[in-house]
Amino acid sequence: MKIIKRNGTEVTFDREKIEVAIRKANDATEKKKELSDRQIEYIVNVIEDHCAEMNRSLSVEEIQELVETHIILQNAPETAKRYIRYRFTRNLARIANTTDNQILSLIECNNEEVKQENSNKNPTVNSVQRDYMAGEVSKDITKRILLPQEVVDAHERGLIHFHDADYFAQHMHNCDLVNLEDMLQNGTVISGTMIETPHSFSTACNISTQIIAQVASSQYGGQSISLTHLAPFVDVSRKKIRKEVEAEVATMGATPSEEKIAEIVEKRLRDEIKKGCQMIQYQVVTLMTTNGQAPFVTVFMYLGEAEDAQTKHDLAMIIEEMLNQRIVGVKNEAGVWITPAFPKLIYVLEEDNIHEDSKYYYLTKLAAKCTAKRMVPDYISEKMMLKLKVDKNGDGHCYTCMGCRSFLTPYVDENGKPKYYGRFNQGVVTINLVDIALSSGGNMEKFWQIFDERLDICYTALMCRHNRLKGTLSDAAPILWQYGALARLKKGETIDKLLYGGYSTISLGYAGLYECVKYMTGKSHTDESAKPFALEVMEYLNAATKRWKEKENIDFSLYGTPLESTTYKFSKCLQQRFGIVEGVTDKNYITNSYHVHVTEEINAFEKLAFEAQFQQLSPGGAISYVEVPNMQNNLEAVLDVMKFIYDNIMYAELNTKSDYCQECGFDGEIEIKEDKDGKLIWTCPNCGNTDENKLNVARRTCGYIGTQFWNQGRTQEIKERVLHL
């Protein structure tokens, strides 16, 4: 059994330390001692049993609060006072040194919480440690200086989550859609070097990877690019290659037919497309940005974006190559082909590719094969998105998200044209719905009252995010604001005009709808009698963002939060305040956004149809998933799910497994088991290997695929997932 110390390190539970602390408080009196030896032993036993039952590592603070509680329950008020006073004095001495200890522990790779904060960061790497060190300083400044105390307190207590506080000290935004078209067609500047319009497809791909790396180093969230913006350069290469072939033919004095020349040109063009796509995949996987990880980049594949038949044809060739290369995967350090985390792929299901007789159905079958083996692409339904994403003119639009799930709201520019690329999200604050329910004690009137209070805190926190960006000079990130990724502002110009009027969004996230409804109604939100309350909660959240939008002229939008490490944090806070409530706080995680609980038996089609109702009430972003077994030999079933997505839900994905043990070569599912201390560990079922450095595990936990393992709460959630197909 383990505990988490204040600096984040994990150590073995030591009951003797608890006993010594209680005895010191009990002995520090000239009067008769309040606690007998038997009572002290009883307190220690109760606390030890409680820690074992929690099925996770408790923090030192949680254990100390248990000690205080049980001393009082033993009718020893003076001893409790002395213990509390001693704890308070010790805490004052630590306050000035908290950040130092946090930094030192993460440098030595002893900080368990930081090590498992991001499943795509390797905490042993210098660049990651440097980013974490800067993050600890940023969080310290943010909590002490930059945020109102009520926001800090709410964040610390788990009432809300102020996302990415480790970057808040800087003037940085969350995520965006990179205007790759503008940068490639009109040129850009990277690290002070002028980059002109590329003269081939492969050069366009190379420049794109450099843009991706630069953008990732200037923000903290995900970014998305569209393959449509690369497609015009296929024809540029085609014409260039044709001239080369014709010159070669003339040199040889040969007179091949037009068909033969076209055949040679097409073969060389295909080779260039292959090299270009390979460049994107390998560069993204191997690039390491300034925060010590590969860029969180999404590649959008939408035939409907192409403006003419030739571009659509060329785009289809690029999509085909991207899918084929992802099916192959990338080699790990042992030389085995595995599933890479990035880039994330999104494939749009549309009339041109969804039916067996559609022109591009072959791409959809290839996408199904890729999903079955590598978990991507994920799928957007053009049909559903055109219904849900409607602009002020009444026109529907289909476009990519900014990373794993954050969607812009429809926007029409001053020329009456829809605009998505070049727009961004200012940041996220998430409300803990489970805490609202538990704080109300089940009283519905009190529930809505507390809801309003928490929403007020969220509004304050979101305005802090907005105001932190306000006044930011374009010089802070030239690649973003001056050279086309998001804008072409002048040097010294602020980004303020991009923060208002719907050009950018700012997100109110929410988590734990299932547990909230479960506590208030006694039933899952999938139950027909409980669903109306769940929908009412969603409407209430949307009403709040609408009020704020009208008040501030800022595009507040409701966002189905993809909690990663925070799912564990929220759970611990709830357990600490409310204890174990069956069906609500008896897990070391809470449910992401509106999702059906991971343990609930429901088939894939029912799940997607149910969640579609809530997805449309999350205009700022949402994604649904179905958990499936190995589907590589059942692609027809994958295609059936894809067709169902097209007709029923805007954005969804299929979760399978893609693992490998470097110790024995096992390439099936790596399992999660409990060790002797009750800790969940990843274990090869073939050889028993538990060394995470010799295991390649890929799981989707929050939209992106994670490959660097997870905290105990998220690991439990992964372990308890049921199959939907």
Torsion angle, CA of 487/490/495/500, rounded to 10 degrees?
-70
Of the residues 291, 406, 504, 571, only one is catalytic, namely 406
Q: Considering 174, 206, 440, 474, which one is annotated as catalytic? A: 174
> Residue 142 gets which letter from DSSP?
I
Q: Catalytic residue, from 172, 322, 402, 702: name it.
A: 402
Rounded to whole angstroms, the Cα distance separating 120 from 268 reads 36
403: nearest Cα among 326, 340, 486, 346: 346
Count the Cβ atoms, other than its own, within 10 Å of residue 45: 11
Q: Choosing from 277, 385, 398, 404, which is the catalytic residue?
A: 404
Is 404 known to be catalytic?
yes
Residue partners of 39: CB distance under 8 A and separation at least 6: 74, 76
For 455, the 3-state DSSP assignment is: helix
DSSP label of 722: P
Q: What is d(CA 498, CA 517) in angstroms, rounded to the nearest whole number?
A: 38
* Active-site residue, 288 included: no
356 is catalytic: no
Options 560, 703, 706, 713, the catalytic residue: 703
Which of 272, 305, 350, 564 is an active site residue? 564
Is 703 part of the annotated catalytic residue set? yes
Which DSSP string do the residues of 207-257 spell out, in sequence order? HHHHHHHHHHTT-SS-EEEEGGGTTHHHHHHHHHHHHHHHHHHHHHT----
Q: From the candidates 119, 218, 425, 432, which is the catalytic residue?
A: 425
463 catalytic? Reply is no
Tell me, yes or no, if 425 is annotated catalytic.
yes
Known catalytic residue at 122: no
560 touches 551 (CB < 8 A): no
Tell me if residue 26 is catalytic: no
At 646, which amino acid appears? Y
The CA distance from 594 to 511, in Å, is: 7
- What secondary structure does DSSP assign to 294-336, as a single string? ---EEEEE-GGG-SSHHHHHHHHHHHHHHHHHHHH-EE-TTS-
8 A C-beta contact, residue 605 and residue 543: no
Nearest CA among 170, 173, 208 for reference residue 188: 208
Tell me, yes or no, if 402 is annotated catalytic. yes
**In one letter, which amino acid is 53?**
E
Catalytic residue among 175, 205, 463, 464: 175
Q: Which residues of 78-88 are buried (b: 16+ CB within 10 A; e: fewer)?
A: ebbebbbeebe
DSSP string, 24-51: HHHHS-SS--SS-HHHHHHHHHHHHHHH
Sign of CA dihedral 551, 552, 553, 554: negative
Reported as type and span, the H/E element at residue 189 is: strand 188-190
Query: Residue 678 carries which side chain, given as an amino acid letter?
Result: G
Catalytic residue numbers, as ranges: 174-175, 402, 404, 406, 425, 559, 564, 703
